[in-house]
Amino acid sequence: MLVKLIKTKFPLFALSLLLSFMFWLMVSASGTSTREIPVALEITLPDEREAVLGQPLPERISLRVEANTAQFKLIENRTLVYGVDLSQERPGSRLYRFNMENVLKALQLPRGVIVSRIQPAEIPYQLYGFISKLVPVEMTLVDNYDDKLVVSGPITVEPTEVKVTGPSNVMETVHSVPIVVSRASVSPGVKLEVKPVLSGFGSNVEVDPTAVFMASSNVSWKRENVTVSVPVTVNAEPSDAPQAGPSHNLSANPEAVNVTLSWPANHPVPAPDGDGGLRAVTTVDLRELERLGGMRLGVEVEVPFADLNVLRVNPNRVYVTMKRLPAESQPAGEAPAEAPAPGGQAPPAPGPQGYAD
């Protein structure tokens, strides 16, 4: 009975399955369409100290996809990312081609989806390697300079060359390292530490050494002629002793001289009365002065700073004389005078035996 039932009902069952499958195909075919699906690119580059890109690579590619509505919904619910590994590439001109099989395998699109095109199919790019070269350092002084300074020639730096390291395409345009310094920061005889920087070339460009020293051998302070009146100091040679006695006074005529100096602008100008460390000195031989009574001697000027130049001393010679001072005690061997007795009379002179008459 069962066998008879299967034989009579099976054709109807098989026919219904066939009709259902054909209906599904018709429904599926009616929902199929073609769209452009974006795929983000995740690019891995070589180490930044080995190579850099000449131009940025595209951030995404586009896939031409044929699928039905249900399949597109599955695709839209996912973030499609494809990795491009360039980490082992060497510097030079390169071309990366997308392989359809590798892309579909990595993206794992729904079954039955058809991809007919990848746009763009290939990406040209340029990798630049890092190189180093020596370039000169160029010093430039800006105009906001200190008006007390005189720059007589080009200011040099130490060292005169530095090593610059960077991508080969950048290094083609690097011919020197400019350094801009304000004149107000320069001091004669002082080395100024300056950091050389290449601006506009990115952080990949490095300069070695990181500091250079600016020499100021061609920089000096502006000078002006200053005339001040300086009192004359008379000194005696220490080995001399005057025969006239221990008390004496030495004087010069004139008592002061006018000193003209080349005065640097970095030092305070001395006051007209001779303050500021200036001294006019003349040295006399006391024995010779005692014999002659007066001597005309030259004047030497002592300056407080080594970079002062004495241009003129007027007059450059003075006349020195010595004046004896009153003795402060009686000469040796003389008895002091006795004081008068009360009433204004002098005491009587002693007799032969020491008694008064």
pLDDT digits (tens, 9 = 90+) for 283-305: 998 888 888 889 999 999 988 87
Whole-number Cα distances in Å, 284 to 14, 265, 289, 298: 147, 35, 7, 10
Q: Of 133 and 357, which is predicted with more confidence?
A: 133
* pLDDT exceeds 70 at position 255: yes
More confident site: 241 or 307: 307
Give the residue numbers spanning the domain of 48: 29-120
Whether 341 is in a domain gets the answer: no
Mean pLDDT of 247-265: 86
- Alpha-helical regions (H) of the chain: 2-30, 69-76, 100-107, 168-171, 286-292
Considering the domain architecture, whether residues 214 and 230 belong to the same structural domain is answered as no
% residues pLDDT > 70 (the chain): 76
Give the mean pLDDT of the chain.
Answer: 79
Query: Minimum mean pLDDT among 148-162, 188-202, 332-346: which range?
Result: 332-346
101 pLDDT band, cuts 50/70/90, is very high
Whole-number Å distance between alpha carbons of 200 and 203: 9
Instruction: Indicate whether 163 pLDDT > 70.
Output: yes
Instruction: Indicate whether 9 belongs to any domain.
Output: no
Are 164 and 207 contacting, i.e. CB atoms less than 8 angstroms apart?
yes
How many domains are there within the chain? 3
Residues 246 and 317 in one domain: yes
303-320 mean pLDDT: 88
For the stretch 102-107, contacts whose Cβ atoms lie closer than 8 Å and that sit 24 or more positions apart, written own/partner, are 103/39, 103/63, 106/82, 107/39, 107/80, 107/82
The identity of residue 235, as a single letter, is: N
- pLDDT attached to residue 349: 39
Q: In terms of domains, do 43 and 91 share one?
A: yes
Residue 147 lies in a domain: yes
On whether both 300 and 239 belong to a single domain, the answer is yes
> Which carries the bigger pLDDT value, residue 211 or residue 247?
211
User: Do 265 and 219 touch, CB atoms closer than 8 A?
Assistant: no
Average pLDDT over residues 45-66: 87
CA distance 321 to 124: 102
**Dist CA 74 CA 67 (whole Å):** 10
Whether 343 maps to a domain, the answer reads no
Percent of the chain whose predicted confidence (pLDDT) is above 90: 28
Q: In this structure, is residue 6 part of a structural domain?
A: no
pLDDT number for residue 145: 59
**Distance, C-alpha 152 to centroid of its chain:** 23
Q: What is the CATH number of the domain that holds 288?
A: 2.170.120.30
Confidence band of 8 (pLDDT split at 50, 70, 90): low
* 17 found inside a domain: no
Average pLDDT of 178-185? 78
N residues, the chain: 357
Sheet with 317-324, edge to edge strand ranges: 248-253, 317-324, 294-298
Cα(348)–Cα(355) distance, integer angstroms: 10
The average pLDDT across 330-338 equals 45
Say if residue 116's pLDDT is above 50.
yes
Max Cα distance, the chain (Å): 203
Residue 241: predicted pLDDT: 52
- Residue 291 class from Cβ within 10 Å (0-12 exposed, 13-18 middle, 19+ buried)? exposed
Q: In the structure, what pLDDT confidence band is assigned to residue 39 with cuts at 50, 70 and 90?
A: very high
Three-state DSSP state, 252: strand
